[in-house]
Amino acid sequence: MDRYYGLNQSMVDQYAPRPGERELIPDLSDKAKVALMCRMLFKEGWNEHIAGHITYRLPNGNVLTNPWELAWDELRASDIVTLDHQGNILDSQWNTTPALGLHMQLHNARPDVNVVIHNHAHWSGIWANLHEIPPVYDQAGAYCGNDLPLYNEYQGTFEDSGKTQSAVEALGDAKWALLANHGSLVVGRDLRQAHLRAITLEWRSKRAYEVRLAGGGQPMPESVIEALTVSDINGFPFCWEAMARRELRLDPSILD
């Protein structure tokens, strides 16, 4: 049975927001949601200067992404760039990173992937540099399951579109990956799902590193991890909205 913080699915449905009852966040444009996503993940450790990129495929096939020139903690809705399905810029004077090639190929290869996130995240980046998979030690690290592939792109797989395609094939249907000596990659059906995966990966990595520094601990059994895994249907109740509200309180100009 899918569980959320000890709640079964029927209990989750009971506490899910109902239209017209309460507004958790204001109506947001798609560009505002992407800008918020960048700000939210910056706070979680996905914050290596101007590195990193998020792509969000819209129902019409266009893709929204952050510009190359701006750091994630300064982005506003008006900075977000619209691309066509081939990666051509449609509505911005900003540039986009050439590394978006992998994103576009992931979108094309996987109909289930509408969001791709990459950055040189702090805690998961440590494990990528160690070429190790962080064990799961607590509930918050178990929200997205245990399986986490490690992929070594520096063997030459990102040099051109053909080699990037080999990386897409190697990642298969994974929901996330550590990129050896580089950083982290997370994909998702929508922004809410991708957000939960990104923050879970970083929390899991942080806790595992702290446990190692403290002298070691006992990882959770696979059966317990499975029981704690959050269903991807609804995501963790209210988490995305709570983190969005935090950013809006700090800087309402995100919506500009």
pLDDT score of 1: 28
Name the β-bridge partners of 3. 8
Task: Summarize the confidence of residues 28-41 as an average pLDDT.
Answer: 97
Q: How far, in Å, CA of 251 to CA of 32, rounded?
A: 12
pLDDT score of 4: 37
Task: Summarize the confidence of residues 70-99 as an average pLDDT.
Answer: 95
Q: How far, in Å, CA of 132 to CA of 110, rounded?
A: 26
pTM of the model: 0.88
pLDDT score of 227: 92
146-170 per-position pLDDT tens digit: 999 998 876 644 445 665 677 788 7
103-120 per-position pLDDT tens digit: 999 999 999 999 999 999
pLDDT score of 162: 61
Q: How far, in Å, CA of 34 to CA of 47, rounded?
A: 15
Task: Write the burial class of residue 32 (CB in 10 Å: 0-12 exposed, 13-18 middle, 19+ buried).
Answer: buried
176-222 per-position pLDDT tens digit: 999 999 999 999 999 999 999 999 999 999 999 999 999 999 999 99
> What CATH superfamily is the domain 3-255?
Class II aldolase/adducin N-terminal domain (3.40.225.10)
Greater confidence (99 vs 249) lies with: 249
pLDDT score of 231: 73
Identify the three-state secondary structure at position 137: coil
SS3 string, 150-189, reads EECHHHCCCCCHHHHHHHHHHHCCCCEEEECCCEEEEEEC
Average pLDDT, the chain: 88
pLDDT score of 250: 95
pLDDT higher than threshold 80 for residue 9: no
Q: For residue 17, what pLDDT band results from cuts at 50, 70 and 90?
A: low
Q: How far, in Å, CA of 48 to CA of 77, rounded?
A: 21
Task: Name the residue among 253, 241, 116 with its Cα closest to residue 190.
Answer: 116
Task: Summarize the confidence of residues 14-34 as an average pLDDT.
Answer: 76
In terms of phi and psi (left: phi > 0; alpha: psi -120 to 50; beta: otherwise), the region of 172 is left
Task: Name the residue among 49, 48, 71, 44 with its Cα closest to residue 140.
Answer: 44
Q: Which residue has the tokens 């309180």?
A: 249
Greater confidence (244 vs 159) lies with: 244
Q: How far, in Å, CA of 107 to CA of 65, rounded?
A: 13
